[in-house]
């Protein structure tokens, strides 16, 4: 584990368990092997505020990241790795992402100091 302060837990469709921390995302896979993901793996920020497990066939995992004075954003992880959008980039409001929901072909982001962003 990246640290012993776990903020949230989510289970994906393969039976793996994701742990949200202030120092990255931790994943316990179905074979009981631990994995830790941080900025060097593709997260916008190590401070994770929300985890959302997508209902697509690939089981995409979405992360809302950032805190106060640090750059935040949204990252998603699938079988190909990470894709991330930092706050202030690509029409994402300036602030850190506190909540994520994905449905009907788009994703909604709650952004501290920026309200709500929608990406179709």
Per-residue pLDDT of the chain (120 residues; tens, 9 = 90+): 888 899 999 999 889 999 999 999 999 999 999 999 999 999 999 999 999 998 766 678 999 998 876 678 889 898 888 988 876 666 676 678 888 887 777 888 888 878 888 888
**Could you tell me the residue range of the domain that residue 83 belongs to?**
6-119
For 70-99, the DSSP string reads S--EEEEEETTEEEEEETTSTTPPSSEEEE
| DSSP for residue 65 | E
Whole-structure pTM value? 0.86
Number of domains composing the chain: 1
Task: State the Cα–Cα distance between residues 24 and 2, nearest whole angstrom.
Answer: 6
CATH number at residue 85: 2.130.10.10
Question: Does 23 reside within a domain?
Answer: yes
């Amino acid at each position: 584990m990246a640290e012993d302060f776990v903020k949230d837990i989510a289970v994906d469709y393969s039976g793996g368990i994701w742990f949200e921390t202030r120092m990255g995302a931790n994943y316990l896979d179905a074979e009981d092997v631990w994995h830790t993901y941080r900025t060097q793996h593709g997260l916008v920020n190590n401070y994770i505020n929300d985890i959302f497990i997508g209902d697509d066939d690939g089981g995409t995992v979405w992360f809302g990241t950032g805190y106060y004075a640090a750059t935040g954003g949204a990252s998603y992880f699938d079988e190909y790795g990470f894709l991330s959008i930092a706050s202030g980039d690509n029409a994402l409001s300036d602030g850190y992402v506190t909540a994520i929901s994905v449905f009907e072909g788009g994703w909604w982001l709650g952004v501290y100091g920026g309200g709500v962003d929608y990406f179709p």
